[in-house]
Amino acid sequence: MKIGFIGLGNMGKPMALNLLKDRHEVIGFDTVSANLDGISMATSAAEAAIGVDCVITMLPNGVILQSVADQVLNNMTKGAMLLDCSTVDVESARHVAKLAEAKGIIPIDAPVSGGIGGASAGTLTFMVGGSEEGFTKAKALFEVMGQKAVHCGPSGNGQAAKICNNMILGATMIVTCEAFAMADKLGLNRQAMFDVVSTSSGYSWTMNNYCPAPGIGPTSPSDNEYKPGFASELMVKDLQLSQKAAELVDADTPIGQMALKLYEEFVFDEDGDGKDFSAMLPRFEKRSRY
Ligand code: NAD
């Protein structure tokens, strides 16, 4: 396919390079000049959209996505795809999808899980919202950039799946960390704690695959001084999106709300900015109950 790739940051660049490696023709655009690595660059988002089969966006947020959509939609060929892989609010995703459909463009929201490592290795998971036709057409691209794509329903549902998943992830990481810190105070050895919980009903991805305790379980950012990995400020973003969505549909999410409050305090008032989201463990270690 001929692909316009807009947003060549930490995630977008390796994704675009994987498409290039698979012999797709990629024309890129970013507001910050990127190290090209073989990708030819357009001088504007609008230019990157001309004559392509698909415009892929990998951008910071919904406001920027809407502005880029305004720039590209008029230049796109009818029947082409607008594939947004950014994590944005559900409302923006649905708004952009409506604008695209009105112009005969196939909108697909497909946020990802797997981080920068998954983007480089081509092992991302895509959570996809949009029509069956769009999902089928984009499959070949998902296969190059990722290992799994789940069709979650109509436009916006990919974003809905992503923020529900990350609300669970954030809350689970917090409770895993507070349990480790409590276990320390109870005199329970961390290895014993891991061996029990990872094989008992308290097990989770955060415990078993991404253990926040250094030297315990599989290698994770905790073994690398909590360098991200998945940065705490990105968790704040996703938890903010989850609470925005909860407000939109009047959903009661007390634990998601608390997880957001704790990660906001960690990033904005404490020393969490730039640290992996599992650095909640050293945070809890330093604290007492009141
Ligand atoms: P990033 O900030 O590294 O990249 C975003 C890029 O978009 C930047 O290069 C920026 O210059 C560019 N950009 C901003 N405004 C633009 C515009 N108007 N036109 C063209 N380009 C513009 O961020 P990232 O880590 O690559 O994340 C991208 C998206 O993926 C975000 O929505 C993020 O939440 C999501 N995500 C990130 C990760 C991760 O681990 N980094 C994991 C999953 C999902």
Per-residue confidence (pLDDT) for residue 35, from 0 to 100: 72
290 — pLDDT class (breaks 50, 70, 90) = confident
Q: CA-to-CA distance for 81 and 54, rounded, in angstroms?
A: 5
Which residue, by CA, sits nearest to atom 20 of ligand 1?
30
Pocket test for ligand 1, best of 6, 11, 109 (most atoms within 8 A of CB): 11
Over range 171-183, report the average pLDDT.
98
Phi/psi for 275 (5° steps) reads -100, 155
Per-residue confidence (pLDDT) for residue 62, from 0 to 100: 96
> What's the 185 CA to ligand 1 centre distance in angstroms?
40
CA-13 nearest atom, ligand 1: 26
Per-residue confidence (pLDDT) for residue 115, from 0 to 100: 87
Asked, as a colleague might, if the bond just before 130 is cis with ω within 30 of 0, I would say no
Residue for token pair 């009903």:
201
CA gyration radius for the chain? Answer: 20
> What's the 260 CA to ligand 1 centre distance in angstroms?
21
Binding site membership of 41 for ligand 1 (Cβ less than 6 Å): no
Q: CA-to-CA distance for 218 and 209, rounded, in angstroms?
A: 6
Per-residue confidence (pLDDT) for residue 33, from 0 to 100: 80
Over range 37-43, report the average pLDDT.
90
Per-residue confidence (pLDDT) for residue 173, from 0 to 100: 98
Catalytic sites, residue numbers: 162
Give me the helix-helix angle, 157-185 and 232-248, nearest 10°.
120
Tokens of 256: 């998601």
CA-234 nearest atom, ligand 1: 34
Q: Is the pLDDT of residue 77 over 80?
A: yes
Binding site membership of 112 for ligand 1 (Cβ less than 6 Å): yes
Pocket test for ligand 1, best of 5, 6, 10 (most atoms within 8 A of CB): 10
Pairing verdict, β 40-41 and 25-29: parallel
Residue for token pair 């008992």:
200
Q: CA-to-CA distance for 205 and 144, rounded, in angstroms?
A: 25
Binding site membership of 64 for ligand 1 (Cβ less than 6 Å): yes
Chain segment 192-214, per-residue pLDDT in tens: 999 999 999 999 999 999 999 99
Q: CA-to-CA distance for 269 and 208, rounded, in angstroms?
A: 29
Binding site membership of 42 for ligand 1 (Cβ less than 6 Å): no
> What's the 273 CA to ligand 1 centre distance in angstroms?
17
> What's the 191 CA to ligand 1 centre distance in angstroms?
37
Per-residue confidence (pLDDT) for residue 277, from 0 to 100: 98
Give me the helix-helix angle, 232-248 and 254-264, nearest 10°.
140
- For 25, the enclosing helix (H) or strand (E) is strand 25-29
263 — pLDDT class (breaks 50, 70, 90) = very high
Q: CA-to-CA distance for 72 and 49, rounded, in angstroms?
A: 6
Binding site membership of 54 for ligand 1 (Cβ less than 6 Å): no
> What's the 190 CA to ligand 1 centre distance in angstroms?
36
Q: What is the DSSP string of 139-184?
A: HHHHHHHEEEEEEEESTTHHHHHHHHHHHHHHHHHHHHHHHHHHHH
Which long-range contacts (C-beta less than 8 Å, at least 24 apart) are formed by 139-145?
Answer: 140/1, 141/1, 141/3, 141/19, 141/24, 141/54, 141/56, 141/83, 142/110, 144/18, 144/19, 144/22, 144/24, 145/15, 145/18, 145/19, 145/85, 145/119
